């Protein structure tokens, strides 16, 4: 092990989810997602990572017409400090009836505990889209419901639904997410009913509750598939939507009734019901 490692803190002014996807697809090392950006730690210098982010930022600005600001903070730290720095950066979080905590912190006896050890770009509940989706699950998922988590990431949403007594299937197009979801289900002593690599078009089942915490463009692209797996009178939770794109997304779900809208920071989550009145 080298004596030092490099830490790069990146603050992103907008398009957080697109930068998240970019880093997940291109980085040779793991990274941590924070509310307004990311933390990358590497034993190699991070200049190449900054260069790649700047190239992506320029391309994204041209494609969207938006001004995107990136702020960087670099540090060189002793490797012996790594575990403490990492653990100190992850705090337990209460979301409605759920208590999300890393394994090195104690559970809360009065809440439904979800143990998640952060890895790569997988959800820990700290991002507004994950938090809002968990709030929706806490309110709308009932015991024995059939639930589908589309784009499961860490599996945190599915694990939460299982702990409420639901029968949960989950899918993701990234095999790393499937593996991480499986690990986190084992960490929480629960089991997914079905877990597969791919999207919701791979199943012929229909569900009481379908949750999709994905970026707006993907929610549009797979709208017909999502709608087809919701039972009559079932609930569809759409998360991962920036406020400025909400009307664009809702155009593709006009046959659904809006039960609730959850707003946190610049992100919105819609809870929809099959069969518009």
pLDDT tens column, 215-251: 888 999 999 999 999 999 999 999 989 898 999 999 9
Asked whether residue 180 is marked as a ligand-binding residue, the answer is: no
Q: What is the pLDDT of residue 276?
A: 60
Residue 123: pLDDT band with limits 50, 70, 90 = low
DSSP state letters, 77-136: EEGGGHHHHHHHH---EEETTEEEE-TTS---TTSEEEE----TT---S-SHHHHHHHHH
pTM value is 0.73
Asked whether residue 151 is marked as a ligand-binding residue, the answer is: yes
Q: How far apart are CA 236 and CA 216, in angstroms?
A: 15
DSSP at 192: -
Provide the percentage of residues in the chain whose pLDDT is more than 70. 91
Q: What is the pLDDT of residue 149?
A: 98
Q: What is the pLDDT of residue 5?
A: 84
Is the confidence at residue 82, as pLDDT, over 70? no
Q: What is the pLDDT of residue 103?
A: 87
Residue 87: pLDDT band with limits 50, 70, 90 = low
Residue ranges of domains in the chain, CATH in brackets = 4-79 (3.30.70), 89-274 (3.40.50.150)
Q: CA–CA distance from 62 to each of 59, 65, 66, 243 (Å)?
A: 5, 5, 8, 21
Averaged pLDDT for residues 117-122: 54
Is the confidence at residue 138, as pLDDT, over 50? yes
Q: Nearest to residue 137, comparing CAs of 127, 149, 126? A: 149
Provide the percentage of residues in the chain whose pLDDT is more than 90. 64
Averaged pLDDT for residues 116-132: 71
Contact 256, 274 (CB under 8 A): yes
Q: What is the pLDDT of residue 2?
A: 67
């Amino acid at each position: 092990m080298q004596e030092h490692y490099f830490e790069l803190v990146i603050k992103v002014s907008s398009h957080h989810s697109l930068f998240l996807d970019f880093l997940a697809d291109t980085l040779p090392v793991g990274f941590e997602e924070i509310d307004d950006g990311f933390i990358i730690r590497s034993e190699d210098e991070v200049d190449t990572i900054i260069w790649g982010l700047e190239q992506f930022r320029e391309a994204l600005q041209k494609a969207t017409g938006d001004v995107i600001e990136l702020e960087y903070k670099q540090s060189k730290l002793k490797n012996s400090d790594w575990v403490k720095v990492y653990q100190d950066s992850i705090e337990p979080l209460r979301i409605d009836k759920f208590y999300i905590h890393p394994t090195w912190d104690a559970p809360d006896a009065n809440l439904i505990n979800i143990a998640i050890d952060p890895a790569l770009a997988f959800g820990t509940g700290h991002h507004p889209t994950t938090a809002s989706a968990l709030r929706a699950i806490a309110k709308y998922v009932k015991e024995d419901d059939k639930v589908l988590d589309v784009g499961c990431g860490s599996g945190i949403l599915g694990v939460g639904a299982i702990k409420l007594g639901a029968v949960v299937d989950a899918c993701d197009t990234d095999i790393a997410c499937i593996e991480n979801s499986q690990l986190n289900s084992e960490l929480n002593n629960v089991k997914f009913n079905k877990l597969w690599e791919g999207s919701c078009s791979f199943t012929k089942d229909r569900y009481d509750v379908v949750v999709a915490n994905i970026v707006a463009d993907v929610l549009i692209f797979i709208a017909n598939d999502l709608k087809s797996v919701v039972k009559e009178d079932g609930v569809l939770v759409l998360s991962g939507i920036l406020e400025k794109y909400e009307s664009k997304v809702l155009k593709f779900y006009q046959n659904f009734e809006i039960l609730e809208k959850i707003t946190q920071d610049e992100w919105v989550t819609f809870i929809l019901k099959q069969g518009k009145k």
